[in-house]
Amino acid sequence: MDEQRREFIRKTGLGVLAGLGAVSGLFPESSMESAVASTSSGDSASGKTRWGMVIDTRKCRGECTRCIDACHEVHNVPKFDNAKDEIKWIWKSPFENVFPGESKQFVSEETREKSYLALCNHCDNPPCVRACPTQATFKRRWDGIVAMDYHRCIGCRFCMAACPYGARSFNWRDPRPAIKKMDPSYPTRERGVVEKCNFCSERLARNMQPACVEACPEGALTFGDLNDEQSEIRVLLDRNHTLQRKSELGTRPSVFYII
């Protein structure tokens, strides 16, 4: 018996080791070496498109909500009058909420008073995609947009727990009664699935700018291909000091802020 037991323990140990080895081979992309390189420095491979956005907060006026209204209208985002059921693709919050890790001492009055735009960051290394059990949310190979497949989402809300930016909303109830003006050219969602900003992929397919970018009267939002050195967005990034939200988490957001 004792001999048998020892043999069992030895074999189990070997099995576990073999399993670990196999698992590390399963995930070449998340192996240790690449994790170091992909934290906050280093740019992604060129050749493919990687859509991104620069938000010039100096130009953004605090009380203006034109971009939010435009987005929520074209995407049939419902408006509930309670915070619990709330669904939002793009919204404004104070500095300390949008940038919780950033400086909190002796902050200028302007920064303190102003509100800042927040939306899905379309991360290059998205934790929501890692967490999703059905690949209902996935990063598009060809342009880096973190997309939702509403037909596949099972409503487990793992992506909501995984997103460090609060960018995702769940349809706690039927959204249709709460949509003020229905835009027939874009589908609504059904209750029970998660939704979020899609970088206006339906408009990009028609060579149009995202609705928020187009709606901004101050030209505070710039959209473009981060992998194209000639693009307007890269020129802006070259000439200005910019911030990404919670860059220390290694998610590599594609939305940049000029403060």
Partner 1 sequence: MRRMMKIKEQILIFGGLALFLFVATYAFWQEGEAKKIRRQVAKSAGEECIESREYMRENHMLVLDEWRHSAVREGDRIHVTPDGREFEKNMSTCLGCHTGKQFFCYNCHQYASVKPNCWGCHQAQ
Partner 2 sequence: MIEKALKGDRSYWGWIVFLLFIIAAGVYSYARQLDTGLTVTGMGRDVSWGVYIAQFTFLVGVAASAVMVVLPYYLHDYKAFGKIVIVGEFMAVAATIMCILFILADMGRPDRVLNVLLYPTPHSMVFWDVTVLNGYLLLNIISGWAVLGAERKGVPAPKWVKPVIYLSIPWAISIHTVTAFLYAGLPGRHLWLTAVLAPRFLASAFAAGPALLILVTYILKKTTGFDAGKEAVNKLAVIVTYAAVVNFFLIGMEFFTAFYSNIPGHMHSLQYLFFGLHGKGQLVSWMWFSMMIGLGSLVVLLVPKLRKSSTWLIAACLGIVLSIWIDKGVGLILGGFVPSPLEEIVEYFPTLIEISVTLGIWAIGIFLLTILLKVAVAVKTQD
One character per residue 143-172, x = contact with partner 2 (rule: CB under 8 A): ---------xxxxxxx-xxxxxxx--xxxx
Q: Of partner 1, partner 2, none, which one does residue 188 interact with (CB within 5 to 8 Å by kind)?
A: partner 1
> Is residue 205 a contact point for partner 1 (CB under 8 A)?
yes
- Report the SS3 class of residue 182: coil
Please tell me whether residue 72 binds partner 1 under the rule CB under 8 A. no
* Residue 173 binding partner 1, by CB under 8 A: no
Q: Which of 251, 254, 255, 258 binds partner 2 (CB under 8 A)?
A: 251
Half-sphere exposure of residue 109, counting CA atoms within 13 Å on the CB side?
0
Classify residue 242 as exposed, middle or buried by CB count within 10 Å of its CB (0-12, 13-18, 19+).
middle
Asked whether position 133 contacts partner 1 by CB under 8 A, the answer is no
- At its nearest, how many Å lie between partner 2 and the CB of residue 230? 33
Confirm or reject binding of residue 138 to partner 1 (CB under 8 A).
yes
In the numeric block, which tokens belong to residue 252?
């590599």
Partner whose binding site includes residue 24, from partner 1, partner 2, none (CB under 5 to 8 Å by kind): none
Q: Locate the DSSP E strands across the chain.
A: 51-56, 90-94, 115-119, 137-139, 146-148, 169-170, 194-195, 221-225, 242-243, 255-258
Kindly state whether residue 37 participates in binding partner 2, applying the rule CB under 8 A: no
